[in-house]
Amino acid sequence: MRIGLDFDNTIVCYDQAIALLAEELFELPADVPLTKLGVRTYLRATGREPEWTAFQGELYGPGMHHAQPFEGAISTMQQLVAAGHELVIISHRTRHPYAGKPHDLHLAARNWVANRLQSVGLFGSMGDRSAVNFLETRDQKVEMITHLDCEAFLDDLPEILTAPGFPRDIYPILFAPSREGELPKQGNNDVISAWCQLPPLISSLAL
């Protein structure tokens, strides 16, 4: 099967990056959790919304060197490739931040792919762009999912999997890592909470 994969918050986990970057950039009270929700809530509550917007530009730009793959993501993708499946990344993020320094966010993502994924044999050789696609809008992302003839697609955003243009013949799989244990089927898509749950699901679809 050709399996499409989202990138941000599906392959890449930003928990460690958010904590480290928040410590670098802000002097936060000790009781503020160094999580996305904790930092965002504090900055908004103290009238520092522009700083939160700029923080996201740093996180998805140079801060990506702090980001880690989700647990089991690399070994699972290697397992799927070894089983004969083809993997493609199809994701969307603006090319430049809405505020702060004008980092090239697509370049930052491609560098992360090269260093963390292509270096271990996933998504072609380093510098190969054919299996790695970053678009600027959700509509462009859905169009690319259709164009590349994916047979299944994994994403953490339900709104992508249920978008009006999302092809009916592509099997949608929701990645919900914050959910523990057995996850119920939601609408037309299955839900997984960990990467290790993906291969058996793909095997059942390929039968």
Listed by start position, the domains of the chain span 2-13+68-206, 15-65
Give Cβ neighbours of residue 109 (< 8 Å, ≥ 6 apart): 7, 8, 60, 64, 91, 93, 134
- 89 HSE (CA, 13 A, CB side): 29
Helix (H, G, I), strand (E, B) or coil at 175: strand
| pLDDT value, residue 179 | 57
| pLDDT value, residue 88 | 97
> Tell me: the pLDDT tens digits for 165-202?
999 999 999 999 975 444 445 455 689 999 999 999 99
Determine the Cα–Cα distance for residues 126 and 198; give it in Å rounded to an integer. Answer: 25
pLDDT tens for the chain, 207 residues: list them.
999 999 999 999 999 999 999 999 999 999 999 999 999 999 999 999 999 999 999 999 999 999 999 999 999 999 999 999 999 999 999 999 999 999 999 999 999 999 999 999 999 866 666 799 999 999 999 999 999 999 999 999 999 999 999 999 999 999 999 754 444 454 556 899 999 999 999 999 876
CB-CB contact of 109 with 91 (8 Å): yes
pTM score, whole prediction: 0.92
CB-CB contact of 202 with 177 (8 Å): no
Q: Which CATH fold would you assign to the domain 2-13+68-206?
A: Rossmann fold (3.40.50)
Query: For residue 176, is it left (φ>0), alpha (ψ between -120 and 50) or beta?
Result: beta
Determine the Cα–Cα distance for residues 202 and 159; give it in Å rounded to an integer. Answer: 21
